[in-house]
Amino acid sequence: MNRNTFSLEGETALITGGGTGLGFGIASCFVQAGARVVLVGRRRDVLIKATETLGKAASYRVHDVTDFDKAEDLIKHIGETTILVNNAGIHLKKPTIETTPAEFNAVLQTHVVAAHSLTRAVLPNMIARRHGSILFTASMASLFGLPLVTAYSAAKAAYLGMVRSLAVELSQHEVRVNAIAPGWIESEMLQRALNGDATRSNKILARTPMGRFGEPSDIGWAAVYLCSSAAKFVTGIVLPVDGGASIGF
């Protein structure tokens, strides 16, 4: 193995929700590893700013991942996609008894059905080339119980079932499928979730053996590994990147 084993030269990565937060962190590390990245999201101004920051290797496409019937058109416009990162999602924090079926369904549609539609759209080229990597951004909510996020937890747990099933189905075509389960990572979403709640922040840090929040690049470099030839014999896994939170006591 040499340093080029971790290179993403020649790869084209579509990253949903790539304009901010973990998606942008993944995109930044992909560009540094040599990939061309296409950021997908709904807010043009955010995508423009992100691509300008990333440089010539980055482009964007305004697209709502819940427009399921437009997924194939999106892929046709982008061209050959060798890496898909299913990262886009929405968060809903409220008691189960107050969560309406429509709200629950909206979370599932944005995470689960959207990921399926995009995965389905990229697969023909990946299978034909016998080369491809699909990555899902899972969550600590995929691994253990968190209160007040039933819909989000259901969606993120569904990701793991999709990863395992897809990995078994697609391995014969040399297409690998994996997930990353981020811990608590410094981001706008984390700040909104904590919202100045020192008690909750301290509780999180107390159960995290490394005693700090992570950075978006921690997720990004893990994604580079999983999508590179360094992980050519790795498929169907969920990799916690969480400072030990998932095994802390």
| Active site (catalytic) residues | 152
- Of 144, 147, 153, 143, nearest to 237 by C-alpha is 143
Question: How far is residue 127 from each of residues 12, 73, 81, 115, 141, measured CA to CA in Å?
Answer: 15, 18, 11, 18, 31
Rounded to an integer, what distance in angstroms lies between the CA atom of residue 198 and that of residue 206?
12
Strand 83-86 versus strand 58-62 pairing type: unpaired
Residue pair 177/236 in contact by the 8 Å Cβ criterion:
yes
Rounded to an integer, what distance in angstroms lies between the CA atom of residue 29 and that of residue 33?
6
Q: How many CB atoms lie within 10 A of CB 72?
A: 15
- Of 43, 128, 112, 38, nearest to 75 by C-alpha is 38
Helices (H), the chain: 21-32, 44-54, 71-78, 101-108, 114-129, 150-170, 188-194, 198-206, 216-227
Ramachandran sector of residue 73 (left: φ over 0; alpha: ψ -120 to 50; beta: rest):
alpha
Tokens matching residue 188: 């706008």
